[in-house]
């Protein structure tokens, strides 16, 4: 299945409303994608699971939401303006353009070795702010969310009264004019990141780096990705950014090979020092207890929403047979599943509808709930399996008498009769379990 797994997931994603090609009625637009009704739920659940693990359940991390447009000096200080480039080569024969570090000495398309010299290609999207398009009005769309955290370091320190070790987390859109976007939502020019900068006393950098590598790996495991599909890959010394003393990628075994899901980097005091230099503001911590003053070191786990959605979908995709019929199923973790439960009246008859709708309304107040009364019950189960819905609740004619319904489990296919009055509790318990 591995070879065409990507194709199957892409096709399911389109068919079921997870991901649509952007501007599709105009022929699409350069590797941009839109999230449909199921996709937006999955995306929110991924981001919510991250926020929960990184912010809500901890007392040493707070969140922010910084602007996408920032003062251009930010990108001078961070080094992005000078160095945020990819080496680019053109094939003189077929005119295709490639990232020099991703190909050998021949064009992957036509095989020609007549390639141009590599030249730097700037990855930041440029725009103009205000009515005049001149050099003074140039601004950039942020290529990472991290800088919004660094420039707010002093504000957050003061407002939150945290002290190192503590972190600032942020989720949001970033933009990179990638030369070779592709593999569906794995690499796009507009994408969403989930980043956290963890500020620590300088001598504690290495131990927190190890800690965050493990934490971040476990996050994916806890959300249902099998351990053997994940690995931590430490960067070789020549791969490291000049300021980093350690970087490891959390990688997923994509159908096209191991690929980065998330990077965890020890960025030392590089960013705060640079912003201090360029802004003239002191970005340091003064420990009143010890009288010590220092620029904290930073450990950064930086994840991508689209990349992890892709990994969650690939890991969840399965095909099996039920009652002699093929079925496609997404074994998504209940926390990530777009709908937690679907209410399916056995028949469309008027007699069943009021109770079924009432059950759905009760569930909806607590869980993302779908309601489906069209076509045969078998087909409706399969639709929910494909959407990854963990539980289906069937309302039948007996329900009118016994005020009970049947819960069907997506993975075990077990069916249990449950009184309507216990339904919310029962589903809650199963989702938690």
Among 139, 168, 178, 299, binds ligand ATP (CB under 6 A): 178
Cα 60 → chain centroid: 22
Does position 162 interact with ligand ATP (CB under 6 A)? The reply is no
Q: Judged by CB under 6 A, how many residues of this single chain contact ligand ATP?
A: 16
Binding mask 251-290 for ligand ATP (x = CB under 6 A): ---------xxxx---------------------------
Does position 307 interact with ligand ATP (CB under 6 A)? The reply is yes
Q: Say if residues 59 and 38 touch (Cβ distance below 8 Å).
A: no
As given in the structure block, the two tokens for residue 323 are 């009652």
CB of residue 195 to ligand ATP, shortest distance in Å: 7
Identify the helix (H) or strand (E) that includes residue 381: helix 377-387
Does position 172 interact with ligand ATP (CB under 6 A)? The reply is no
Q: How far apart are CA 19 and CA 16, in angstroms?
A: 8
As given in the structure block, the two tokens for residue 207 are 């131990």
303 vs 316, which CB is nearer to ligand ATP?
303
Q: How far apart are CA 49 and CA 334, in angstroms?
A: 11
Does position 148 interact with ligand ATP (CB under 6 A)? The reply is no
* Coil/strand/helix, residue 285: strand
Q: How far apart are CA 19 and CA 331, in angstroms?
A: 18
205 vs 390, which CB is nearer to ligand ATP?
205
As given in the structure block, the two tokens for residue 90 are 């053109």
Q: How far apart are CA 210 and CA 248, in angstroms?
A: 9
CB hemisphere CA count around 237 (13 angstroms) = 0
237 vs 324, which CB is nearer to ligand ATP?
237
191 vs 371, which CB is nearer to ligand ATP?
191
Q: Say if residues 279 and 73 touch (Cβ distance below 8 Å).
A: yes
Q: How far apart are CA 332 and CA 316, in angstroms?
A: 5
* Coil/strand/helix, residue 397: helix
Cα 89 → chain centroid: 30
Cα 381 → chain centroid: 28
205 vs 304, which CB is nearer to ligand ATP?
304
294 - beta bridge partners?
Answer: 285
Does position 297 interact with ligand ATP (CB under 6 A)? The reply is no
Q: Give the binding range for ligand ATP (CB under 6 A) out of 186-194, 362-370, 385-393, 399-407.
A: 186-194
Does position 193 interact with ligand ATP (CB under 6 A)? The reply is yes
Among 306, 334, 388, 390, binds ligand ATP (CB under 6 A): 306
Does position 191 interact with ligand ATP (CB under 6 A)? The reply is yes
Among 80, 122, 162, 176, binds ligand ATP (CB under 6 A): 176
189 vs 410, which CB is nearer to ligand ATP?
189
Does position 372 interact with ligand ATP (CB under 6 A)? The reply is no
Does position 142 interact with ligand ATP (CB under 6 A)? The reply is no
CB of residue 123 to ligand ATP, shortest distance in Å: 9
Q: Say if residues 314 and 5 touch (Cβ distance below 8 Å).
A: yes
Does position 188 interact with ligand ATP (CB under 6 A)? The reply is yes
Does position 187 interact with ligand ATP (CB under 6 A)? The reply is yes
As given in the structure block, the two tokens for residue 372 are 């489906």
223 vs 363, which CB is nearer to ligand ATP?
223
Residues 58 to 97 in contact with ligand ATP, rule: CB under 6 A:
none
Does position 6 interact with ligand ATP (CB under 6 A)? The reply is no
142 vs 410, which CB is nearer to ligand ATP?
142
260 vs 426, which CB is nearer to ligand ATP?
260
Q: What separation, in Å, do the N-terminal and C-terminal C-alpha atoms of the chain show?
A: 30
Binding mask 224-253 for ligand ATP (x = CB under 6 A): ------------------------------
Per DSSP bridges, beta strands 246-254 and 230-234 are antiparallel
**Short-list 102, 71, 36, CA closest to 278:** 71
93 vs 177, which CB is nearer to ligand ATP?
177
As given in the structure block, the two tokens for residue 27 are 């022929």
Say which DSSP state 295 is in: P
**Interface residues toward ligand ATP, by CB under 6 A:** 144, 176, 178, 187-188, 191, 193, 260-263, 302-304, 306-307
């Amino acid at each position: 299945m591995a070879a065409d797994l990507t194709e199957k997931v892409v096709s399911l994603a389109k068919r079921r409303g997870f991901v649509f090609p952007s501007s599709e009625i105009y022929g699409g637009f350069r590797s941009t994608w839109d999230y449909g009704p199921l996709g937006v739920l999955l995306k929110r659940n991924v981001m919510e699971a991250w926020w929960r693990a990184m912010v809500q359940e901890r007392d040493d991390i707070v969140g922010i939401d910084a602007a996408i447009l920032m003062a251009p000096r930010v990108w001078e200080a961070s080094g992005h303006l000078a160095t945020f480039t990819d080496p680019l080569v053109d094939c003189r024969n077929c005119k295709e353009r490639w990232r020099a570090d991703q190909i050998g000495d021949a064009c992957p398309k036509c095989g020609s070795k007549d390639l141009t010299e590599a030249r730097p290609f700037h990855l930041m999207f440029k725009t103009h702010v205000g009515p005049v398009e001149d050099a003074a009005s140039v601004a950039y769309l942020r290529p990472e969310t991290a800088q919004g955290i660094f420039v707010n370091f002093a504000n957050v320190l003061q407002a939150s009264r945290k002290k190192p070790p503590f972190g600032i987390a942020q989720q949001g859109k970033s933009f990179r004019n990638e030369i070779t976007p592709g593999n569906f939502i794995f690499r796009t020019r507009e994408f969403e990141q989930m980043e956290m900068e963890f500020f620590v006393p300088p001598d504690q950098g290495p131990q927190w780096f190890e800690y965050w590598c493990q934490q971040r790996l476990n996050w994916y495991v806890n959300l249902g990705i099998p351990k053997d599909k994940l690995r931590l890959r430490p960067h070789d010394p020549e791969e490291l950014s000049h300021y980093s003393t350690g970087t490891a990628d959390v990688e997923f075994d994509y159908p096209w090979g191991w690929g980065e899901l998330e990077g965890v980097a020890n960025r030392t005091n590089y960013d705060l020092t640079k912003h201090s230099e360029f802004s003239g503001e002191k970005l340091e911590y003064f420990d009143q207890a010890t009288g010590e003053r220092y620029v904290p070191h930073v450990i950064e786990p930086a994840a991508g929403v689209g990349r992890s959605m892709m990994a969650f979908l690939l890991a969840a995709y399965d095909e099996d047979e039920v009652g002699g019929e093929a079925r496609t199923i997404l074994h998504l973790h209940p926390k990530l599943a777009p709908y937690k439960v679907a209410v399916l009246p056995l028949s469309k008859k008027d007699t069943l509808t009021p109770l079924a709708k009432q059950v759905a309304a009760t569930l909806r107040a607590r869980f993302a709930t779908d309601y489906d009364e069209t076509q045969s019950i078998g087909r409706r189960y399969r639709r929910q399996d494909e959407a990854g819905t963990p539980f289906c609740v069937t309302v039948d004619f007996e329900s009118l008498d016994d005020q009970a319904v049947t819960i069907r489990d997506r993975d075990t296919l077990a069916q249990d009769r449950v009184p309507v009055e216990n339904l919310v509790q029962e589903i809650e318990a199963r989702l938690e379990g």
